[in-house]
Amino acid sequence: MKSKTGKKLLSLLAITGLSVTLLGACASDVPPAANIDTKSATEDAAETTGTESSKVIKFGVIAPLTGAHAEYGQGFDAATQIAAEEINAAGGVNGYTIELECQDSAADAKTSSDIFTRYGEDDSIMAVIGDFTSSCCKANAPLADEYGLVQISPTASDPSYASMNDYCYTVMYNQSTAAPWTAESVVGHYLGKTACAVMYLNTDWGITTNDYLLQGIDKAGIKLLGDESYSENETDFSSVIEKLKATGADCLVILDQGNVPTIINQVRAADWDCQIVSLGPGASDQILELCGENANGLVIPCPSYITEDNPTTSDFYKKFFEKNKCAPTDHALCAYTCVQVLAKALESIDGEITREKIKDALKDVQYDGMAGHTQFNEDGGVNRDLLIIQVVDGTYVIQKEYGYK
């Protein structure tokens, strides 16, 4: 009996080992072949179009295509593709065509770092765009350093992320400036409130944002009536809302993304007629769609405003809508910006392109696009200005332009 199981085990180990080696052999064979294929394909394309470009630059995209943040992850995928298509249609960068590979992290730090490792090992990947959540980005940060591979996140706004090492960049505004600004300028000056209640998502992002917001609230002399957190997979907010409502606050600040529409609906269902301010979701059409009349009066500090009517963004809006069947949010625009910024960095590099050179070139990139002016600070973050947008009669209206104090 013993020898039988032993033998079984051994043969299994052997099979495992063999299959892994086989897999390894396959994997190590495949990339060059694939490279040649894509090269020849683009060469063919180049021949037919008559340009000389024949080289491909590959970026890896990590996005939560499934799971709780799937809506934003699929936006990443679509937006980065739009950017790459636009750049390639315009003849590429310095003779290079941009190619993207997108993989799903499900906003799970473990999967995200697995994918990052795979990109790190793949020599054809020159930079990584992603991930959505700050926690995933922070889990990947040591790997970025280890592989010398830039990780440029469209949305990680946790201030401690971008400063983790030289290879970490983010194009999202930094909560260390945005959250206090929201407290002082939006709640204090614009709305003229002297007291407010706060509810925030109990994640890495939510906690840091809440900390900065409280600093701002303190500084502006606003009275904090309640500060409540809730876990990520919450569906019923009635008890938290009841708790904050009982404090008698007439202004509620929500720090969240995907749950904001649900919370607004439940606030209104609880008969709480308060002013709602939300930092995080951006001017998303989802809120208008899901809340209907309940959204009226909602104030959102937002780095950009994308609509079909706005002449600068309508093109992007249409392309995005065609690809993803829903309206883009600021997050998607940031993903788009990431690709554009990387392209700008490539432009400034002469000679052979390496991961190291991209890292250095990103420091000096200046890009003016739909998301305003993008330039990285020392940490690798950006200082973006915010608009104050309010929902009036079911549509977003820009109430204060950039630079409101």
Partner 1 sequence: MMEINMIKKYLLKYGTAMLLFLLPLIVSKSIMTVVCSIAGYFIIAGALNSINGYSGQMCFGIAGFYCVGAYTMAILMNTFHISFWIALLPSGIMAAFAGMLVALPTLKLRGMFMAMLTIGFSEVMRMICLNWTSVTGGTMGIKGIKAPLFFGIKTSGASRYYYIYLVTALLFIFCTNRVIHSRIGRAWMAIREDDMAARSLGVSINLYKILNFMYGAFWAGIAGALLAPYKTYIDSSYFTLDEGFNILSMVIIGGQGTLAGPMVGVVIYQLLVEGLRFTGVWRYIGCAVLIIAMMWLRPQGMVGDSDSVLAGNKTVRTGSNLLSNLHWKTPGPIRKLIISVLY
Partner 2 sequence: MTSAYFISQLMNGLCLGAIYALIALGVAVIIGIVGFATFTQGEVVMMGAYISFYVFLYGGNHVIPGILGSFIATWVLGMIIYKICYARFLDAPEHISLICTIGFSMLLKNIALIFFGADKKPMLNVIKSINYHFGPITVSNVQLLILGTVLILVLILSFVFTKTDWGIRLKAVSQNREAAALIGIDVEKTAMIGNSIGCALAGAAGTLIGIYYQSCYPTMGATLSMKAFTSATLGGLTSVPFAALGGILIGIIENIGIAFSSASFRDMFSFGFLILMLIFKPTGFARKRSVRA
Residues in the chain: 405
Question: Candidates 1-9, 254-262, 371-379, 394-402 — which segment interacts with partner 1 by CB under 8 A?
Answer: 1-9
Q: How many CB atoms lie within 10 A of CB 165?
A: 13
Please, what is the minimum distance in Å from the beta carbon of residue 32 to partner 2? Answer: 33
**Cβ burial 380-393 (10 Å sphere, 16+ → b, else e):** bbbebebbbbbbee
Question: What gap in Å lies between CA 99 and CA 372, rounded to an integer?
Answer: 25
Classify residue 183 by its DSSP letter.
I
41's contact among partner 2, partner 1, none, with CB below 5 to 8 A by partner kind, is none
Q: Which runs of E-coded beta strand occur in 105-205?
A: 125-129, 150-153, 168-170, 195-201
Q: Does 235 sit near partner 1 (CB under 8 A)?
A: no
How big is the chain by its Cα radius of gyration, in Å?
A: 24
Strand partners, 60: 101, 128
CA distances from residue 10 to 1, 144, 217 in whole angstroms, order as listed: 14, 38, 65
Binding mask 312-351 for partner 2 (x = CB under 8 A): -------------xx-------------------------
Residue 248 host element (H or E): none
Q: Which of 23, 25, 269, 397 binds partner 2 (CB under 8 A)?
A: 269
Q: Does 23 sit near partner 1 (CB under 8 A)?
A: yes
Q: Does 2 sit near partner 1 (CB under 8 A)?
A: yes
Binders in 66-95 for partner 2, by CB under 8 A = 66-68, 70-71, 73-74
Q: Does 16 sit near partner 1 (CB under 8 A)?
A: yes
12's contact among partner 1, partner 2, none, with CB below 5 to 8 A by partner kind, is partner 1
Binding mask 327-346 for partner 1 (x = CB under 8 A): --------------------
Closest CA to 114 of 169, 70, 78, 62: 62
Return all residues near 304 (Cβ < 8 A) that are at least 6 apart. 282, 283, 313, 330, 333, 370, 371, 372, 387
Q: Which of 58, 138, 268, 359 binds partner 1 (CB under 8 A)?
A: 138
Closest CA to 398 of 283, 278, 315: 283
Question: What gap in Å lies between CA 285 and CA 394, rounded to an integer?
Answer: 10
Q: Does 355 sit near partner 1 (CB under 8 A)?
A: no
Q: Does 9 sit near partner 1 (CB under 8 A)?
A: yes
- The Cα diameter of the chain in Å comes to 80
Instruction: Give 188 or 206: the residue with its C-beta nearer to partner 1.
Output: 206
Token pair 């960068």 is at which residue? 93
Binders in 270-289 for partner 2, by CB under 8 A = 270-271, 286, 289
Q: Does 310 sit near partner 2 (CB under 8 A)?
A: no
Q: Does 4 sit near partner 1 (CB under 8 A)?
A: no
* Cβ atoms of 376 and 359 closer than 8 Å: no
Binding mask 26-65 for partner 1 (x = CB under 8 A): -xx------------------------------------x
Task: Give me the residues that bind partner 2 (CB under 8 A), please.
Answer: 66-68, 70-71, 73-74, 202, 228-231, 233-240, 242-243, 246, 258, 261-262, 265-266, 269-271, 286, 289-292, 325-326
